Each structure stands twice: as structure tokens, then as C-alpha cells.
Amino acid sequence: MTWLVTGGAGYIGAHVVRALQDAGLTAIVLDDLSSGHASFVAPETPFIRASILDGERVLDALGQHGVTGVIHVAGFKYAGVSVQRPLHTYEQNVTGTAVLLAAMQDRGVDRIVFSSSAAVYGTPDVDLVTEDTPKNPQSPYGESKLIGEWLLRDQGVAAGLRHTSLRYFNVVGSGHPSLPDTSPHNLFPLVFDALVAGRTPKINGDDYPTPDGTNVRDYIHVSDLAAAHVAAARRLDAGEPLESAYNLGSGDGVSVGEIMATVAEVTGIPFVPEIAPRRAGDPARIVAAGDLAARDLDWTMRHGLREMVSSAWDARRAAEG
């Protein structure tokens, strides 16, 4: 079976490609390199540099490589920035997904794993987020991901598309030293950037009703995330049933304070985080149940917090040479 990975030159997509190949599946990459890196694609992996908005290029990629399924990771992923760039966000994430689905229908490709997001929930007021928790996205990014799920649902009804959506929470770490997280908005790169520049990392608020007063979030290792995509792809290939969506979460989470302490330990750079004011609307705790994914996708937290931090730091240092 051959799987096209859109956004396969990005941080998450490249890990998915490696996981597919390690599992003996054929992977093809389509990426416009707007945020990805050509160096993340192995020389032996077929690579089409194109946008998912270019329907003709997507059609050609599906046909020329005999693609049987798609793992759709491409998209504009910056929730905060999406508030200032809503039209761009909707074009990339909604129009792009519609163009992709149309090309898949034309080529008879009937299975897809969709990269969704915890952002579909907004800021839930429950201790543990399940797949049935009400959806209340609070950014164009979160809205676009929810619409993406609806597009898959409706295409399933209309054309028999077999699909599932994986809702990511906070993805960190690295499965390969050559694949660092280069996002300018994610916590680990921001903390590492500060330390390397001699600045003190900040924590936004230390007076939340949590064990150490700092926000608790669900952090998952990118390699565990990639393995879940492979499991979903295998089930689709085998014609086995899947839920329409799965949370990929730990069930308990860790605090920002714990992360800072672990970063200091792993990097050997001692620091006491600067305490900044709370960010408006920032909830104390967002943690997801991963029970459904554990049942169907062999989902489990194979990497602890120290491994998350140390693998991310090793990849960061390797990238700097």
C-alpha cells in the first residue's frame, strides 16, 4: 500500500513518513515547503513540491505513484496567528482539504487519516477531555480543523470515503536527531531559544489551582503520535472499523513548571523561570483521555517527560551542528 503524506516535509509529517517506512509501508511526500524543510525528506523518498491548493499537481501525485491512501498533515498550524490571518487559514486548511478530497475522489483513493487538533474543543471546562466533549473552537485555526472533520464526514456519506481524524494535543520531542521542532510558536523551541540566547524563560502565571500553580497541559511525544497514524493507516487498509475521531492524549498531563525543571536538568543550564502575568483566557488544565485510541490504535505514552525534553534538545543541538 502507498500512502501520500501531505505536509510530509514538516516536523510532524516527517515523523509520520519515517514511521510508515519503518513499518514497511510506502510513503510519498507532498509539501510546498512553506514551513517544512526539504532536508527532512530522505533522498530515497519520492517528493512532490506542491501546494494542496494545486489540484492538478495533487491529481498527478496520486495517479503517478499509485497512491491508495492519504495522511493529511499539511496546513496552517498557528492558532494565535490565525486570528490575524483568518482568510489565509481558511484557504490553507479548508479550501486545501476540499481540493485534496476532490482529487482523491477523481483518482478513486478512498481512505484518509486527517491531522486534526485539540483546538476544536477551545478551552473546555472539564477535567478530562473526551471525544464527546462539546466542540467550541476559539480561533480560525480551531474552526478550520473542525470544518475539516466535517468535510471528511460528509464525503464519507456522499462518496464512501473511509476516514478518521486524530486530534493532537501538545506534540513535542524528536524521534530522529535530524528532525527538530522548528516552530516559532511552540513551547520547547521557545524555551531552548531563550536559554541559548542567555535569556530566562517565562511562565505565564503561577497561581492556578494546580499542584505547582502553573498550567497543566497534555504533552505527547511526536514518535508516539506518528505510530498512531501508522496504526490508523493499517486499519483503513485492512477495512477494519475506526471511530470518526480520536484524542491522542496522556490522561494526566504535566505542568509548565515541571517542564521548566526538566529542561534545566537535561540541558545543564540552571535557571529559575521568570513569572509573567497570566494570559487572558488561559485555562488551568487541559488533559485528554486517550482510551479510544488505546483500544483501536495501540496508543500509549511510550516516552516520559525526560525523554520528550532530551530528544528535543538533542535534535536542536544537532541542527546547530
pLDDT, tens digit, 9 for 90 and up, residues 102-149: 999 999 999 999 999 999 999 898 989 999 999 999 999 999 999 999
CATH class held by domain 2-171+219-248: alpha beta
Under the banding of pLDDT at 50, 70 and 90, the label for residue 265 is very high
Look at the block and give the residue holding cell 511562565: 203
Mean of pLDDT over the chain: 96
Residue environment code for 157-180, b if the CB has 16+ CB neighbours within 10 A, otherwise e: eeeebbbbbbbbbbbbbbbbeebb
The pLDDT confidence band at residue 282, using thresholds 50, 70 and 90, is: confident
What pTM value is reported for the model?
0.96
Q: What is the pLDDT of residue 125?
A: 86
Given a cut of 80, whether residue 79 has pLDDT beyond it is yes
**Phi and psi at residue 254, to the nearest 5°:** -135, 160
- From the candidates 141, 168, 208, 219, which is the catalytic residue? 141
Residue type, 45: T
pLDDT value at 12 more than 80: yes
Answer yes or no: is pLDDT of 280 > 80.
no
Provide the residue ranges of all domains of the chain, joining segments of one domain with +: 2-171+219-248, 173-217+250-287+302-319
Contact, 89 vs 144, CB < 8 A? yes
* 281: pLDDT strictly greater than 80: no
CA distance 215 to 285: 6
Q: What does the alpha-carbon distance between residue 75 and residue 298 come to, in Å, rounded to a whole number?
A: 26
Bridge-partner residues for 3, per DSSP? 27, 69
| 192-219 pLDDT, tens digit each | 999 999 999 999 999 999 999 999 999 9
Question: Per CATH, which fold does 173-217+250-287+302-319 belong to?
Answer: UDP-galactose 4-epimerase; domain 1 (3.90.25)
- To the query of whether residue 141 is one of the catalytic residues in this protein, the response is yes
pLDDT of 279 reads: 82
What is the three-class DSSP state of 106? Answer: helix
